[in-house]
Amino acid sequence: MMIIGHRGASRHAPENTLAAFRLAWEEGADGIEADFRVSGDGRVVCLHDASTGRTAEKDLDVASSLLPELRRLDAGRWQGPAWQGERIPTLAEVLACLLPGKRLFIELKSGPEIVAPLVQELARSGTAPEQLRLLAFSAPLLAELKAQLPGYRACWLTDCRRWLPGGVWRPSREEILATLRRSGFDGLAIRGRAILDERFVAALRREGYEIHVWTVDAAAAARRFVALGVDSIMTNRPGWLRQKLCAGHPRSRSLSR
């Protein structure tokens, strides 16, 4: 099972910055998850929100801003003076910081306009496809990217919620499986909720799907997903979580690699 730094080691470093990714590697993460959007001049940049106001000193709309405008912003100072001067990285920079044997989970935050520049950037980088996972909440968008990059593994992002009356999960287990089959995806990236149980994991495994869980920052919850045998847990504090999972674990060497 892999421990993945969600937006890097984002509990302690500014999310989606090279500093957060470097800290995740220092803490022993097996991979990082990062969010990507397309700027107004067609560059793929690493940012979760549609605008920069939450994580920078000026609020710019990413889709209508040029890369030089975005790069002038300080993307680290909001999390403390130690991080002042961190910039919004490009996909190329994030790929360049990917260590051998580690994984990068690329979450798409833009629409179909991200497909062409993303495909081009991945080709230029020379990064091995097995080091990457492509993620999106939009099944049609992810299917389009999978068609363009058949050699890469694509995992559908979803967040199930329990609806009243009746406490029914939506999307249901059956709906999730139907989407995975119909779209030809390689796996599922799902929020850590009770719908992910032994029966559902077994159904996913029977059909050969990967299972990734987000975002887990509590040790007890992480232990439950370890017991279920998921492929990875995404967390904002990868080093801390690995220590908690290794403490007293009979197979701690496999977790502390």
pLDDT at 248: 58
CB 13 within 8 A of CB 83: yes
Nearest CA to 43 out of 16, 15, 66, 18 is that of 66
H or E segment and range at residue 19: helix 18-26
**pLDDT above 70 for 256:** no
Q: State pLDDT tens for residues 104-131.
A: 999 999 999 999 999 999 999 999 999 9
**pLDDT above 60 for 257:** no
Read off the pLDDT band of 88 (50, 70, 90).
very high
CB 105 within 8 A of CB 212: yes
What is the identity of the amino acid at 163? W
How far is it, in rounded angstroms, from Cα 158 to Cα 147?
A: 20
Class of domain 2-255: alpha beta
**pLDDT above 80 for 233:** yes
pLDDT at 251: 56
CB 239 within 8 A of CB 27: yes
User: pTM of the full predicted structure?
Assistant: 0.95
Nearest CA to 116 out of 94, 98, 141 is that of 141
**pLDDT above 80 for 135:** yes
pLDDT at 116: 98
pLDDT at 249: 61
pLDDT at 253: 44
Structure-block tokens of residue 180: 């995975």
